[in-house]
Amino acid sequence: MTHAEAYAELVARSGELAVLQSCASVLGWDQQTYMPRGGAAFRGDQLALIAKLSHAEATHPRFGELLGELGGTFAEGTVEAANVRELKHGYDRATKLPSRLVEELARVTAAAHEAWVDARKGDSFATFRPHLETILALKREEAAAVRTAEHAHLYDALLDEYEPGASTADLTVLFAGLTAAVVPLVKAIGESSTRPDDTILTRDYPVERQKWFAESAAVAIGFDFNNGRLDIAAHPFCSTFGPGDCRLTTRYNPNFFNEAFFGVLHEAGHGLYEQNLPAEHFGTPCGGYCSLGVHESQSRFWENQVGRSRPFWQGFLPRMKQAFPGTLDDVSLDAFELAVNAVKPSLIRVEADEATYNLHIAVRFELELALITGDLQAAELPAAWNEKYRDYLGLTPPTDADGCLQDVHWSFGGIGYFPTYTLGNLLAAQLQRAMPDSEATIRSGDFSGLKSWLTANIHTHGRRYRAQELCTRATGGALSPVPFVEYLSAKFDRLYGLKI
Of 146, 158, 47, 58, the C-alpha closest to 103 is 47
pLDDT digits 0-9 by tens, 51-107: 999 999 999 999 999 999 999 999 999 999 999 999 999 999 999 999 999 999 999
Residue 154 in domain: no
Residue after which a domain boundary falls, among 112, 146, 180 = 146
Residue 177 in domain: yes
| 481 and 334 in a common domain | yes
| 324 and 372 in a common domain | yes
499 pLDDT higher than 80: no
Residue 350's pLDDT is what?
A: 84
The dihedral sign for the CA sequence 367, 121, 36, 258: negative
Taking residues 381-390, what's their average pLDDT?
97
% of the chain residues with pLDDT over 70: 100
pLDDT digits 0-9 by tens, 161-218: 999 999 999 999 999 999 999 999 999 999 999 999 999 999 999 999 999 999 999 9
Residue 157 in domain: no
Confidence at 351, pLDDT banded by 50, 70, 90: confident
| 173 and 130 in a common domain | no
Contact 147, 157 (CB under 8 A): yes
Residue 160 in domain: no
| 235 and 182 in a common domain | yes
Confidence at 420, pLDDT banded by 50, 70, 90: very high
Taking residues 390-403, what's their average pLDDT?
96
SS (H, E, C) the chain: CCHHHHHHHHHHHHHHHHHHHHHHHHHHHHHHHCCCHHHHHHHHHHHHHHHHHHHHHHCCHHHHHHHHHHCCCCCCCCHHHHHHHHHHHHHHHHCCCCHHHHHHHHHHHHHHHHHHHHHHHHCCHHHHHHHHHHHHHHHHHHHHHHCCCCCCCHHHHHHHHHCCCCCHHHHHHHHHHHHHHHHHHHHHHHHCCCCCCHHHHHCCCCHHHHHHHHHHHHHHHCCCHHHEEEEECCCCCEEEEECCEEEEEECCCCCCHHHHHHHHHHHHHHHHHHHCCCHHHCCCHHHCCCCHHHHHHHHHHHHHHHCCCHHHHHHHHHHHHHHCCCCCCCCCHHHHHHHHCCCCCCCCHHHCCHHHHHHHHHHHHHHHHHHHHCCCCHHHHHHHHHHHHHHHHCCCCCCCCCCCCCCCHHHHCCCCCCHHHHHHHHHHHHHHHHCCCHHHHHHHCCCHHHHHHHHHHCHHHCCCCCHHHHHHHHHCCCCCCHHHHHHHHHHHHHHHCCCC
Give dist(CA 161, CA 138) in Å, integer: 15
500 pLDDT higher than 60: no
| 175 and 93 in a common domain | no
Catalytic-residue membership of 267? yes
Residue 113 in domain: yes
Contact 220, 447 (CB under 8 A): yes
Please count the structural domains in the chain.
2
| 256 and 318 in a common domain | yes
| 492 and 354 in a common domain | yes
| 117 and 187 in a common domain | no
pLDDT digits 0-9 by tens, 482-492: 999 999 999 99
Residue 184 in domain: yes
Give dist(CA 36, CA 30) in Å, integer: 9
pLDDT digits 0-9 by tens, 421-467: 999 999 999 999 999 999 999 999 999 999 999 999 999 999 999 99
The CATH number that applies at residue 221 is 1.10.1370.30
pLDDT digits 0-9 by tens, 246-299: 999 999 999 999 999 999 999 999 999 999 999 999 999 999 999 999 999 999
| 141 and 174 in a common domain | no
Q: Active site residue: 80, 267, 337, 368, which one?
A: 267
Query: Domain of 480?
Result: 168-496
Residue after which a domain boundary falls, among 111, 146, 181 = 146
| Exposure string for 140-172, b = 16+ CB within 10 A, e = fewer | bebbeebbeeebebbbbbbbbbbbbebbbeebe
Residue 477 in domain: yes
| 53 and 108 in a common domain | yes
Residue 317's pLDDT is what?
A: 98
Residue 498's pLDDT is what?
A: 85
| 438 and 390 in a common domain | yes
Give dist(CA 275, CA 244) in Å, integer: 7
Residue 180 in domain: yes
Residue after which a domain boundary falls, among 146, 181, 211 = 146
| 444 and 313 in a common domain | yes
